[in-house]
Amino acid sequence: MRHLKLVHSTEKAPAMTVKIAFASSDRRVVDQHFGAAEAFCIYELFGNDAAKADARLVEVAEFHDSDVVMNSFTNKHEGKLASKITLLEGCAAVYCNAVGASAIKQLLAAGIQPMKVEEGALVDELLCGLNQSLKNAPPAWLAKRMQSKDDDRFAAMEAEGWSE
């Protein structure tokens, strides 16, 4: 597997962020089935307030058949699924052209919402739609992910303690 992970400055950390993955061979269009995907690009949606949201590419990974370790207890596809789901850890959703029942179960168990879109859907347009929904009314899976981030922030504040 080839894996590129971009590192950004954290000086002005956005108030909210969420990572979204796309099964894409060229980082421009969603053109792959989840289980057979040869590449994923992962974007981070971020914004300092509800009026301004944006996205940036943070990771790109390419898979090859030799990346999957075979053994007598798992078949080829199940091995591929595990490595892909591990890669997508921390993502709120993955956009692809199709996804099998086994992959859906595993993705949902990992907290990743599988999203099926037509082949050729543009990554930029999907990101733009997600940014718009963040400003207005996000879908339930995205609102839940954003709520859990707020809960984490409040738990950290509580752990700091109060001083008067």
| Structure confidence at residue 93 as a pLDDT band (50, 70, 90) | very high
11 has a pLDDT exceeding 80: no
- Say how far apart CA 47 and CA 35 lie, in whole Å: 31
Inform me whether the pLDDT recorded for 134 exceeds 70: yes
Region 93-121: mean pLDDT is 96
CATH code, domain with 60: 3.30.420.130
Range of the domain at 36: 2-160
Beta strands, E only, 6-146: 16-23, 29-30, 39-49, 52-62, 91-96, 113-116, 121-122
Domain total in the chain: 1
CB atoms within 10 A of CB 101: 7
For the question of whether the overall pTM of this predicted structure is more than 0.85, the answer is: no
- Summarised one tens digit per residue, pLDDT across range 54-86 is 889 999 999 876 444 443 344 555 567 999 999
The residue among 89, 96, 13, 15 whose CA lies nearest residue 51 is 15
